[in-house]
């Protein structure tokens, strides 16, 4: 979550005298491996990955196999969506320190 969400939430919690804890900044060393880390990644990001699969299928179908009136062949129509999908698929894998540093 970015600042756009966290700043108003922290302001509202301060005004209502609610406890504010930033658990995402807590750093604790865990004994982990690649497979444990990947299991956690897939458990937390399974919905976004499951939503991306039909989008990828839709891109491929509309670019290659759709009827002539439905086919999307324009470069400026395909690239932005393909760019977003290509950026969101590896996104859960990149922040994992086990995958980056071994």
The answer to whether 87 touches 52, Cβ cutoff 8 Å, is: no
Tell me, yes or no, whether 2 lies in a domain. Answer: no
Tell me, yes or no, whether 54 lies in a domain. Answer: yes
Specify the residue for token string 């393909």.
82
Number of folded domains in the chain? 1
Tell me, yes or no, whether 101 lies in a domain. Answer: yes
Tell me, yes or no, whether 32 lies in a domain. Answer: no
Tell me, yes or no, whether 4 lies in a domain. Answer: no
User: Which backbone phi and psi does 6 adopt, to 5 degrees?
Assistant: -75, -35
The answer, as to whether pTM is greater than 0.75, is no
pLDDT tens figures, 27-70: 666 676 777 777 877 887 888 888 889 999 999 999 999 999 99
Tell me, yes or no, whether 74 lies in a domain. Answer: yes
User: Taking the C-alpha atoms of 61, 47, 42 and 64 in order, what is their torsion angle to the nearest 10 degrees?
Assistant: 0
Tell me, yes or no, whether 1 lies in a domain. Answer: no
Identify the domain containing residue 92 by its residue range. 47-102
């Amino acid at each position: 979550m970015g600042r756009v969400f966290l700043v108003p939430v922290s302001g509202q919690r301060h005004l209502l005298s609610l406890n504010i804890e930033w658990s995402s900044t807590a750093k604790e060393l865990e004994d982990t491996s690649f497979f444990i880390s990947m299991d956690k990644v897939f458990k937390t990001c399974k919905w976004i990955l499951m939503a991306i699969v039909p989008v990828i299928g839709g891109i491929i179908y509309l670019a290659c196999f759709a009827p002539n009136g439905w086919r999307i062949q324009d470069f400026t129509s395909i690239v932005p969506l393909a760019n977003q999908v290509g950026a969101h698929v590896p996104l859960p894998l990149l922040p994992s320190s086990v995958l980056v540093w071994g």
